[in-house]
Amino acid sequence: MNSLMISISGVRGIVGEGFTPEIVARFSAAFATFTEKGTVIVGSDTRTSNYMFKYAVFSGLLSGGSQVIDVGVCPTPSLQLMVEKLKADGGIVITGSHNPAQWNALKFVRSDGLFLYPEQAKILLKIYNGRKIRRIQWDKVRKVRKDSTAIENHLDKVLQSVNREKIRSKKFRVALDSCNGAGALISPELLQRLGCQVFGLNSRPDGRFAHSPEPIASNLTQLSQLVKSERADIGFAHDADADRVAIVTEQGRILPEDYSLLLATKFTLANKRGLVVTNLSTTRALEEVVEQFNCPMKRTKIGDIHVSRCMKEKKAVIGGEGNGGVILPQIHYARDGIAAIALLLEYLAETNEPISKLASNFPHYYIIKRKLKTTRENFSLLKIRLKKEFQGAKFNFLDGIKVDLDKSWIHIRHSGTEPVIRIITEAKTKREAEDLYKLTSSFFKTA
């Protein structure tokens, strides 16, 4: 089962290698057992392989006795909201999210619209591996129901959460790169309802990505050019399932992916004080923003479910991850790139300032996020070497190894979505961040 990865983020792999219809059907049948033959919502992003996997999911769920509701192609947060609205017992999203087109995945959703908690994911895996899947007889198989309201339901929720008239009055010019993903089915409509003039890029929801769907700077040069050529006020970019969003300023500058959360947090705290939750790999600038409002902040393991869970349990006012994932509890406790767009436009409308000026007000850090294929993964030895190298530093082993220095930090961990080691460094200058990365990566023997 080459390339198959199983983690709290679900199960994913390269189509036709590790990730096959047989595996998808079996995981879906295990989920039917997990949800005790309940109602399960199924949807997908736009990947070309989804038509094949959709029927494998149906087959597995139906064979386990589930009532299946097909919501079709939609963003991941749209499906999560439908699980709540329909009071379903769970959901399955077929999406490779930010992974390249050759990848696909299943994400499993709880009855409250959040992804499975880690302890629940372990139970599901035990069912999958332990031959404990319960199958039904021929006369108990249910029919698949269809529901085409997921996107409209999501739009209604988002539009109710912002000052629509204030945004409409500004008549913003907005450039949007949907990456030919699920965001193409909702974000252009959202922007139009908010009175924006939309300049679309990669707006065909056909799953043939014009670039890698991860919304990072190297993939957004087209959007930057469009913003400048159309004199847009702002540019937004989604990943394939639209739970993340990145920003380009009116000057064409591609903001670091952390800025989506930085901007959303500053605007939120200016109106409502409270706890902010993020993960260990998010920029230290967020801590400084939160301190400006005398609010508390808590860091979790990597993975949006850890952030979502903490936010829900601690009643945080906002949270998210430094990858463009913003979580707005007034809508739901899940990453939502569509809701983030609406909130950020409200921020622009309220301040009457260009996005470049709002972005310039944050503490300056330089962050490096890189992947490393390695044949040596001895973290115990790595801990010893790092402790010797950085004597007096603060170490955190909650998720991999994080080294907190006076004005910089390093975070090293196994990826939950790709077969790589992730190394993230942040410092006040590019040179310092690069030096930290070079030093850290030298401890690994690359493949």
**pLDDT tens profile 230-257:** 999 999 999 999 999 999 999 999 999 9
pLDDT in tens, 75-110: 999 999 999 999 999 999 999 998 899 999 999 999
Residue 195 backbone class (left: φ over 0; alpha: ψ -120 to 50; beta: rest): left
Residue where a domain stops, chosen among 360, 376, 396? 360
Residue 266 lies in a domain: yes
Bigger pLDDT: 445 vs 42:
42
- Claim to verify: residue 355 and residue 372 sit in the same structural domain: no
pLDDT at 375: 57
pLDDT band of 193, cuts 50, 70, 90: very high
Domain assignment of residue 421, given as a range? 366-441
Asked whether residue 198 carries a pLDDT value surpassing 60, the answer given is yes
Contact 259, 296 (CB under 8 A): no
Identify the pLDDT of residue 2: 58
Residues 312 and 189 in one domain: yes
Please write the tens of the pLDDT for every residue from 279-311: 999 999 999 999 999 999 999 999 999 999 999
What domain count does the chain have?
3
CATH of the domain at 416: 3.30.310.50
Per-residue exposure over 335-347, b if at least 16 CB sit within 10 Å of its own CB, e if not:
bbbbbbbbbbbbb
Give the model's pLDDT for residue 1: 43
198 and 339 belong to one structural domain: yes
Q: Which of 360, 391, 421 is the last residue of a domain?
A: 360
- C-alpha distances out from residue 162 to 96, 166, 199, 222, 425, Å: 30, 9, 22, 29, 35
User: Would you state the pLDDT for residue 377?
Assistant: 65
Inside any domain, residue 159:
yes
Distances (CA, A) of 364 to 77, 228, 283, 348, 355: 31, 24, 10, 21, 16
Catalytic residues, which ones?
97
- pTM, rounded to two decimals: 0.94
Positive or negative, the CA dihedral 395, 368, 262, 204 is negative
Lowest mean pLDDT among 121-135, 166-180, 406-420: 406-420
Same domain, 32 and 136: yes
Q: Are 334 and 404 found together in one domain?
A: no
The answer on 158 and 144 residing in a single domain is no
389 and 354 share a domain? no
Give yes or no: residues 281 and 173 share one domain.
yes
Q: Give yes or no: residues 137 and 157 share one domain.
A: no
Distance between CA atoms of 345 and 368, rounded to whole angstroms?
28
> Are 132 and 80 members of one domain?
yes
Residue 446 in domain: no
181 and 317 share one domain? yes
Domain boundary among 316, 335, 360: 360
Question: Residue 26 sits in a domain of what CATH number?
Answer: 3.40.120.10
Is the domain of 109 the same as that of 163? Answer: no
